[in-house]
Chain A
Amino acid sequence: MARFGMVIDTKKCVGCMDCVVVCKTENNVPEGFNRDWIVQDVRGKNPHLQMEIRSERCNHCDNPPCVYCCPTGASHVHDLGGVVIVTHDMCIGCKACIAACPYDARFIHPEGYADKCTFCIHRVEKGMGPACVSVCPTHCMFWGALDDPNSEVSKLLDSRKHHALIPEAGTKPQIFYLV
C-alpha cells in the first residue's frame, strides 16, 4: 500500500498563495478558513537576513494524535495512502483533534464538523494529484508515494536536504520541505 506524502521546495516557493486560493475553489473551503497557508520564517538582523517560505497544511502524520484522540472514529487513516481524513457525519465536533494537532491544521467547519486538508483524496481517487500541487506556478510542490523509491518525491528526498515540521512532537509528519 502506498504511503502518500508531499515534498515542497522552499528554494522556489515564492509564497504567492495560489495553493491556498485553489484549495478554496476546489474544496469549497468557507470564507474565513484555510486548509493550507503560507508561513514566512525570517531569521537574522537587517540586512543579514534569511527567509524560508513554506506552504503548510495537515502533515498526514504517520503517528497522528488527532486520530488517536478522536472519541468516535470520525478522524481516521484512509486506506488509500495513509491519508488522515474526517468522516463528517461521525464527527461530534468535540475539538479534541484540533487540540491534539501540534500544527493547528484543523478547524471547525461552519457546518460543525472538524475539517482540514484531505490531500484532495477525491482527486487522488481519480488518479489526479492534489489541487494545490497542480496549480503552483513555481512548480515547487511535489506529491506522491514516499514508499516507492522511484517516485519523484522519494528521489527528491534522496538527493536534497530537507526537514519536516516539529518532528520532536513525535507525529511523524509526511510533508517535507527541501532547503
Chain B
Amino acid sequence: MNEYTTTRHNEMIDPSLHIWGWEIPVYLFIGGLVAGMMIITGYFIFKGKYKDKACVCGVLPLLGMIILSAGMFALFLDLEHKLYTWRLYTSFKIASPMSWGAWILIVVYPAMAASFFVNVPEYFSKIFPWMDKISEKLQQHRYLIKNIGVINMLLGGLLGIYTGVLLSALGARPLWNSSMLWLLFLVSGLSSAAAFVHMVAGRVDERELLAKADNGFLIIEIFVIGLFVIGMITSTKVHIQSAMLLLSGIYAPVFWVFVVGLGIVIPLIIQLLAVNHKIKHTPIAPIMVIIGGLILRFVIVDAGQYSHWIDAAF
C-alpha cells in the first residue's frame, strides 16, 4: 500500500484536476460537428450537387457558422482572463495546438462563407438579391467552386483533427496521451455531422446517403475506440490505469451506456434497419448519435483531467 498525502489544495486542481467544465467539451463537440458539416458540404460542392437548389449544402454553411460561433462563445466563456483574448492573435505559436486552433477558426469562417455563396438558399436570395449575384459570379468559375469544396473538406478535416490534438498534445494527462484521439474526434465529428445533416436534409436520397455514411462512420468509430483502448492498455501503468477509468472505473457506466451503447451501437442498428428498409427513418437514431458524440467529449475531457501520472489516490 502506498499512502500519498499532499497539503496542496488549489482550486480546480485538487483533489483532481477539473479546470475545464462544460465549455470545453461543448466546444470540442461543436468543433467536430462543424468540421463534419464542412466536409459534407465540401463533398457535395465538389461533387457538383450544389446545382440542385434543394441540396442540403445550401443551408449547412450558415448553420455551421452559427453553431461554430456558439462553440467559440463557449470557448470564450472558459477563458479566465477574457480582456486579454486578443493576445491569441498577436502571435502564432507553432508548438501550441491552441494557437493553431485560434488561427484555424479564423480561416474556416471565410471558407464556410465561400461555400455559402456557392448555393445561396432561396429565402436569403429573396431578401438579399445581391447574394444571388455573387453566387452567379461564382457559378461562372467551376474550377473555383471545386476548390471551395476541396478547401472546405480540408479545413473541416483540420478543424476536426485539431479538436483531438488539442487534448492529445497534453501529455500530462495519460488518457489524452493517445495517437488515436484525433481520429476518434474526427470520425465522431463526421458521424455527428452526418446524423445532423440526415435530419436537416430535405431530399430523400441525401438522407439515405447520409444514413449510410453515418453507419460507416459509426462502424469506423467503434474500431477507433477499440484501437484507442488497446493503445492505452498496452502502454505504461498510468495509461492502463487511465483506460480503466473508462472501462471499469468511475466513468465506465457513462462510457459504456451513453457513448458506446446509446451513442453508437443502438443507433447503428436502427439505421442499418432503416437503410435496409426494415423500419422507417426517424430522427431517433441521429439524435442518439449526436448526444452520444457530445457525451463522448464530456467523458474524455473529464476522465482525462482525472487521469494522472502519479498512480496514487489523490
Contacts and interface: CB of A to CB of B under 8 A. Distances in A.
Q: Please say whether the chains A and B touch (CB closer than 8 A).
A: yes
Interface of A: 17, 20, 32-34, 37-45, 56, 65, 68-74, 89-96, 98-102, 104, 106-108, 111-113, 166, 168-170
Nearest to B87: A72
Contacts of B204: none
Contact of A69 (B85, B87, B97): B97
Contacts of B90: 72
B141 interface: no
B79 A94 contact: yes
Contacts of A93: 79-82, 84
Given A92-B81, A100-B172, 16 more contacts: A34-B8, A34-B10, A38-B6, A45-B1, A69-B95, A69-B96, A72-B88, A72-B90, A91-B81, A91-B87, A93-B79, A93-B80, A94-B80, A94-B98, A96-B170, A112-B80
A107 B10 contact: yes
A165 B123 CA distance: 62
A148 to B, nearest CB: 29
Contacts of A89: 84
B169 interface: yes
Contacts of B236: 168
A73 B11 contact: no
A40 B102 CA distance: 41
A70 B101 CA distance: 12
A170 B171 contact: yes
A175 B304 CA distance: 26
A44 to B, nearest CB: 8
Interface of B: 1-14, 17, 19-20, 78-85, 87-88, 90-91, 93, 95-99, 101-102, 166, 169-173, 236, 305, 309-310
A98 B305 CA distance: 10
Nearest to B3: A42
Contact of B172 (A37, A65, A90, A107): A65
A71 B7 contact: no
B87 to A, nearest CB: 4
Contacts of A104: 8, 10, 13-14, 17
B172 A17 contact: no
Nearest to A44: B1
Nearest to B97: A69
